[in-house]
Structure 1
Amino acid sequence: MRKFLLLAIVAVLILAACAQSPTGRRQIMLFNENQLSSMGAQTFDQMKEELTISTDRQTQRYVQCIADALLKVTPEQYMGHEWEVVVFADDQVNAFALPGGKIGVYTGLLKVAENQHQLAAVMGHEIGHVMAGHANERLSRSQLVQTGLALTDAATRAANVRFQQEMMAGLGLGSQVGLLLPFSREHESEADIIGLDLMAQAGFNPEQAVDLWRNMAAASGGQRSPELLSSHPVPENRIRALQQRMPQASATYQQRRAQGNLPNCGSPGPL
């Protein structure tokens, strides 16, 4: 009876937590956004203590300029945030955005993103994760998977199922490869599309997003896991999806160009 009651509670929570992403995809959000914002701020503060912050003002202005242009075209709830943008002096080819209005860019990315348009593609992608509530959705999905595994474990133990431990290990691996990793890849693909639209609306050339991912593929030296075992789509698939969306993004960009006053963020300082 307790198991049925728990399943009923989980089902009610799922129904009550249904949401929709900016691309129209149905989502399950089980966590409070204020709580996630607080967690994001705490994580960002810890990173600022543990990592070296770039002191190059030209680089900081460059990254801040791109962030400002992108944030101006986000929905009002994000546009009104007091976003904090920090450049970390680190060779990682990466950037991130956290709930609560936090953006971090590693100087290693500036060696691969060759211009403001390419950096806008990455930063737009990261802002897209926040806009789509991907952190909440990942935590929610992980929570549901853990609950399902815990219920299965209890049921198989009660039923004295043979090879119970081996079966649970297989289910754990299966949920990772069959549920969580594909879900993560779906988030990455969705953030690519949101980021492409954002950069076009802000006045950055969306065609440069394709060049950026070609640069990223070259920078990796071809060393990557098969897509089935990866949390990210392979570059070829990302590029193909971006090219499919490109006619719409290019039309948006041309409309933005006609308005004039395009972003002109210059270039980063010495790296």
Structure 2
Amino acid sequence: MKIFPLLLLAVLITSGCATHQSPTGRSQTLLFSAQEMSQLGDSSFAELKKREKISNHETLNQYVDCVANRITRALPDQSQPWEVIVFDSKQVNAFALPGGHIGVYTGLLNVAVNEHQLATVIGHEVAHVLANHSNEQVSRAQMTGAGMQLADLALGVGGMSNQEVYMAALGLGVQVGYTLPYGREQESEADIMGIELMAKAGFDPAQSVELWRNMAKVGGEQGPELLSTHPSHGQRISQLQLMQDKAQPLYEANRISVKNSCRRPK
């Protein structure tokens, strides 16, 4: 008899699901509202700031802020403020969360060797948020039973009763040790959107190809944490090369002077 309320709860959630189209026309099932996803992003980011060491390197923070702020200023919706935190860690990683949160690990800056390459990663991660990939992942976890207590959030019961699953569904599997990665379709979609976003922000999209070549050299065949579920290096680079004809004119129309560029600290 105890199982019946859980089954009923699952039916209530899934019956309210809505089918949407992603920015590239792919069908998505989204169970959660934008407000619920923002609350989840806020809670997860607050938890990460407790778990992870935050960098107090002033010039490094200014550099990452500069790149991230140019990316977010290129977004069509300017009503959302964005918080940017640099985490002091050797992880080659970055992420963006619903609710306006961006995290960059200092290890990434050893691979993304200039502002254009860093913008490639940040643009990609922000694109995940724009395309509702986090909502899609949390919804998928709900429907497949990966975390039945996710229903708490959808019904407004509140709490982070299954926190590891929540955070993993937001793309934070490396940080919480629970893997629920984005799919390859989502990753390719974020590449497409991310390269256009970085170009609109005045960053050179040609450097996206160089960034992923650098990534391919890190950590052997699998690459760093950031690439653990992504398309193969060759596949990704080929796709980015094909996108240059569209992205380069956007860059030329929005490029800024060297004097006003984001300067990487030495």
**Corresponding residue for 1:137?**
136
**Deviation of 1:13 (Å):** 3.4
| Normalised TM-score (structure 2) | 0.77
What letter corresponds to residue 21 of structure 2 in structure 1?
A: Q
Residues 1:13 and 2:16 are matched in the alignment? yes
What letter corresponds to residue 199 of structure 1 in structure 2?
A: M
**Corresponding residue for 2:187?**
188
Rate the CA distance shift 1:245–1:50 in 2: closer, same or farther, 3 A: same
| Normalised TM-score (structure 1) | 0.75
**Do the aligned partners of 2:13 and 2:31 also contact (CA within 8 Å) in 1?**
no
**Corresponding residue for 1:244?**
242
Q: Deviation digits for residues 88-137 of structure 1, max 9, x if unmatched?
A: 00000000001100100000000000100000000000000110110100
**Deviation of 1:36 (Å):** 1.5
- Identity among equivalent positions (%) equals 47
**Do the aligned partners of 1:181 and 1:231 also contact (CA within 8 Å) in 2?**
no
Rate the CA distance shift 1:52–1:182 in 2: closer, same or farther, 3 A: closer
What letter corresponds to residue 197 of structure 2 in structure 1?
A: L
**Do the aligned partners of 2:19 and 2:29 also contact (CA within 8 Å) in 1?**
yes
**Deviation of 1:224 (Å):** 5.8
What letter corresponds to residue 251 of structure 1 in structure 2?
A: P
* Cα distance between partner residues in 1 of 2:35 and 2:12: 23
What letter corresponds to residue 116 of structure 2 in structure 1?
A: H
* Cα distance between partner residues in 1 of 2:192 and 2:119: 13
* Cα distance between partner residues in 2 of 1:182 and 1:89: 23
The SS at the match of 1:64 is: helix
**Do the aligned partners of 1:37 and 1:100 also contact (CA within 8 Å) in 2?**
yes
Map 1:34-45; keep pairs closer than 5 Å: 34-45=35-46
**Corresponding residue for 1:267?**
264
**Deviation of 1:24 (Å):** 2.7
Gaps of 5+ in 1: 148-179
**Corresponding residue for 1:49?**
50
Q: Deviation digits for residues 202-224 of structure 1, max 9, x if unmatched?
A: 11000000100010110122246
Q: Which is greater in Rg?
A: 1
* Cα distance between partner residues in 1 of 2:222 and 2:74: 36
* Cα distance between partner residues in 2 of 1:183 and 1:128: 12
Map 1:110-129; keep pairs closer than 5 Å: 110-129=109-128
Q: Deviation digits for residues 69-102 of structure 1, max 9, x if unmatched?
A: 11111121xx221211000000000000011001
**Deviation of 1:241 (Å):** 1.2
**Deviation of 1:266 (Å):** 0.4
Map 1:186-225; keep pairs closer than 5 Å: 186-223=185-222
**Deviation of 1:23 (Å):** 2.3
**Do the aligned partners of 2:14 and 2:143 also contact (CA within 8 Å) in 1?**
no
**Corresponding residue for 1:171?**
none
**Aligned residue pairs, count:** 224
What letter corresponds to residue 80 of structure 1 in structure 2?
A: S
Identify which range, 231-240 or 211-220, moves more after superposition: 231-240
For CA contacts below 8 A with separation 6 or more, give which structure has more relative contact order: 1
**Do the aligned partners of 1:99 and 1:130 also contact (CA within 8 Å) in 2?**
yes
Gaps of 5+ in 2: 147-178
Residues 1:235 and 2:238 are matched in the alignment? no
Rate the CA distance shift 1:182–1:47 in 2: closer, same or farther, 3 A: closer
* Cα distance between partner residues in 1 of 2:35 and 2:109: 32
Rate the CA distance shift 1:213–1:38 in 2: closer, same or farther, 3 A: same
**Deviation of 1:145 (Å):** 3.0
**Deviation of 1:8 (Å):** 8.8
Between structures 1 and 2, the one with greater helix share: 1
**Deviation of 1:35 (Å):** 1.5
* Cα distance between partner residues in 2 of 1:25 and 1:100: 23
Rate the CA distance shift 1:214–1:82 in 2: closer, same or farther, 3 A: same
Identify which range, 35-44 or 126-135, moves more after superposition: 35-44
Map 1:72-91; keep pairs closer than 5 Å: 72-76=73-77, 79-91=78-90
Rate the CA distance shift 1:197–1:18 in 2: closer, same or farther, 3 A: same
